């Protein structure tokens, strides 16, 4: 069969399973879990694999699940990814009432699209016509949150890096995979059937900041204390005073939260903790901005006579999409949705750990419509399930066929002309340099 016949078969196979794919997405949305805690989500994914006789392995970076579809030969290996974790948004209508976890970023749709892609490839029989394998990878902890909790996991030796894909790279879970793809729902409430393709995004360094002062009675003896909260506030204001010095083209972002601001209102705060990122468009801009931010934060401690401990943690690298894979995906989107269904993207100041993967192999990370509301808020929800779950799955499956049909000629040519930004060894060395 030619490529078009294979694509028609896989599209039909995905369409026949639309109800089950949609039900999976909705079930995950009803039981959201935060990163490295996605045990119920992992169980649902395992059940979906079992029902379709797709072999899988578990406990990759604690909760990740990895399925495998074998082609008629294993010339190449393409990973189709979906992210398992939620964000914290207590006001979301489907939020977990105890943890605040909610799929207000659409990762449940990613899992559905990934599983739909795999289910279609398996049920259609097209894998017997392809010269390569497909790895269906449900990956944990894309959202870089609960930094203190994850750092404890790190100290306990359960993880080394706080982001899921970085940890999976370190563990060797991507060894033997040649390229990867995934979709992400639009973050700006795009109700239309439009796919944003290409573009870049920020990377970042993670931060834990710990100011230490000296407690004293806040009214009776404030002169005996050293106010760690004031030290923190001065440090933050010093960073704010530098913001105009960051170049616009570097897209630098610093957005701290205070996770502990003291103990009692009538006691001078002796301990204050903050978490933040320092983001930027390039590795160089991230490291430069991070140096300046640290200098300002230390200045706040010096001004008050407090102490400050700044822990820099490996974050995410900037995202770069592969142009050739992007064009293949674009053509398939146009086939399904029409000529005006795609739009080229510029730079996104947000971040994703798909950026880490993009430094060691070709990847695509399209953004797709079918949602309302703004990401990470109470209003974010899927309004077009067919777009969010089914069409996405079809586009990825069709792109897999483009790459692996005809002795994987397209994948071979792409890889022959591809130069990674880093080897795995170089990547790990860079991550270890962030301290």
Question: Distance between CA 7 and CA 394 in Å, rounded?
Answer: 8
Q: 149 is written with which tokens?
A: 């909790």
> Per-residue pLDDT averaged across 135-144, rounded?
98
Lowest mean pLDDT among 26-30, 70-74, 185-189, 320-324: 185-189
pLDDT score for 139: 98
Q: Are 157 and 79 in contact (CB under 8 A)?
A: no
pLDDT score for 313: 95
Q: Within its chain, how far is the Cα of 292 from the centroid?
A: 26
Whole-prediction pTM: 0.94
Q: 86 is written with which tokens?
A: 């939620």
Considering the domain 203-316 in this protein, what is its CATH number? Answer: 3.30.70.360
Running DSSP on this structure, what letter comes out for residue 389?
Answer: I
| Helix, strand, coil abundance in the chain, percent, nearest 5 | 45, 25, 35
Q: Within its chain, how far is the Cα of 167 from the centroid?
A: 12
pLDDT score for 40: 98
Query: Above 90 in pLDDT, residue 45?
Result: yes
Of residues 111, 187, 195, the one with CA closest to residue 372? 187
Q: Is 381 helix (H, G, I), strand (E, B) or coil?
A: strand
Q: Are 164 and 353 in contact (CB under 8 A)?
A: yes
Residue by residue, DSSP assigns 254-273 as: E--EEEE--S-TTB---EEE
% of the chain exceeding 70 in pLDDT: 100
Q: Give the angle 84-87-93 at the CA atoms, nearest 5°.
A: 105
Q: Are 183 and 342 in contact (CB under 8 A)?
A: no
Question: Distance between CA 351 and CA 413 in Å, rounded?
Answer: 29
Q: 212 is written with which tokens?
A: 């230490």
Question: Distance between CA 85 and CA 397 in Å, rounded?
Answer: 23
pLDDT score for 212: 98
Q: Give the angle 183-186-192 at the CA atoms, nearest 5°.
A: 105
Question: Distance between CA 142 and CA 82 in Å, rounded?
Answer: 10
Question: Distance between CA 246 and CA 53 in Å, rounded?
Answer: 53
pLDDT score for 352: 97
149-181 pLDDT, tens digit each:
999 999 999 999 999 999 999 999 999 999 999
205-222 pLDDT, tens digit each:
999 999 999 999 999 999
Q: Where in the chain is the domain with CATH 3.40.630.10?
A: 3-199+321-433
> Per-residue pLDDT averaged across 213-241, rounded?
98
CB atoms within 10 A of CB 320: 18
Residues 6+ apart with CB under 8 A from 51: none
Q: Between the CA of residue 247 and those of 42, 138, 250, 280, 434, what are the distances in Å?
A: 42, 37, 5, 10, 22
Of residues 89, 90, 19, 7, the one with CA closest to residue 48? 19
Burial class, 134, CB count within 10 angstroms (exposed 0-12 / middle 13-18 / buried 19+): buried
Burial class, 219, CB count within 10 angstroms (exposed 0-12 / middle 13-18 / buried 19+): exposed
Q: Within its chain, how far is the Cα of 412 from the centroid?
A: 27
243-301 pLDDT, tens digit each:
999 999 999 999 999 999 999 999 999 999 999 999 999 999 999 999 999 999 999 99
Of residues 302, 303, 305, 308, the one with CA closest to residue 225? 305
pLDDT score for 190: 86
CATH number for 3-199+321-433 (one of 3.40.50.300, 3.40.50.800, 3.90.870.10, 3.40.630.10): it is 3.40.630.10
Q: Where in the chain is the domain with CATH 3.30.70.360?
A: 203-316
């Amino acid at each position: 069969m030619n490529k078009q016949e294979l694509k028609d078969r896989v599209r039909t196979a995905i369409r026949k399973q639309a109800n089950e794919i949609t039900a999976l997405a909705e079930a995950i949305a009803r039981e959201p879990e935060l990163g490295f805690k996605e045990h119920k989500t992992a169980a649902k994914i395992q059940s979906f694999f079992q029902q379709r006789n797709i072999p899988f392995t578990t406990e990759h970076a604690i909760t990740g699940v990895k399925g495998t579809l074998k082609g008629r030969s294993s010339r190449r290996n393409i990973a189709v990814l979906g992210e398992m974790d939620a964000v914290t948004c207590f006001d979301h209508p489907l939020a977990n009432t105890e943890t605040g976890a909610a799929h207000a970023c659409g990762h449940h749709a990613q899992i559905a699209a990934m599983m739909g892609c795999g289910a279609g490839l398996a049920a259609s029989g097209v894998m017997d016509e392809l010269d390569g394998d497909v790895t269906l990878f449900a990956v944990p902890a894309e959202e870089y949150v609960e930094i203190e909790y994850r750092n404890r996991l790190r100290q306990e030796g359960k993880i080394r890096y706080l982001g899921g894909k970085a940890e999976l790279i370190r563990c060797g879970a991507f060894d033997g995979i040649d390229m990867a793809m995934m979709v992400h729902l639009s973050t700006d409430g795009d109700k239309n059937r439009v796919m944003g393709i290409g573009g870049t995004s920020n990377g970042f360094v993670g931060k834990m900041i710990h100011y230490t002062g000296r407690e004293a009675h806040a009214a009776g003896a404030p002169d005996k204390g050293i106010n760690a909260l004031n030290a923190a506030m001065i440090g933050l204001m010093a960073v704010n005073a530098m913001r105009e010095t960051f170049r616009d083209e570097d897209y630098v972002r610093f957005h701290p939260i205070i996770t502990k601001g003291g103990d009692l209102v009538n006691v001078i705060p002796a301990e204050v903790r903050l978490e933040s990122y320092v983001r930027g468009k390039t590795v160089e801009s991230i490291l430069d901005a991070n140096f300046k931010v640290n200098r300002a934060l230390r200045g706040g401690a010096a001004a008050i006579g407090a102490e400050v401990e700044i822990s820099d943690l490996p974050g995410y690298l900037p995202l770069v999409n592969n142009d050739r894979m992007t064009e293949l995906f674009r053509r398939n989107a146009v086939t399904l949705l029409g000529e005006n269904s795609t739009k080229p993207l510029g730079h996104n100041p947000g971040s994703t750990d798909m950026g880490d993967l993009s430094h060691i192999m070709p990847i695509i990370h399209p953004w797709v419509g079918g949602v309302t509301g703004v990401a990470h808020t109470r209003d974010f929800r899927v309004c077009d399930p067919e777009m969010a779950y089914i069409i996405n799955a079809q586009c990825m499956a069709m792109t897999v066929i483009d790459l692996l049909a005809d002795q994987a000629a397209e994948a071979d040519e792409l890889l022959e002309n591809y130069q990674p930004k880093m080897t795995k060894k170089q990547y790990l060395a860079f991550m270890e340099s962030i301290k």
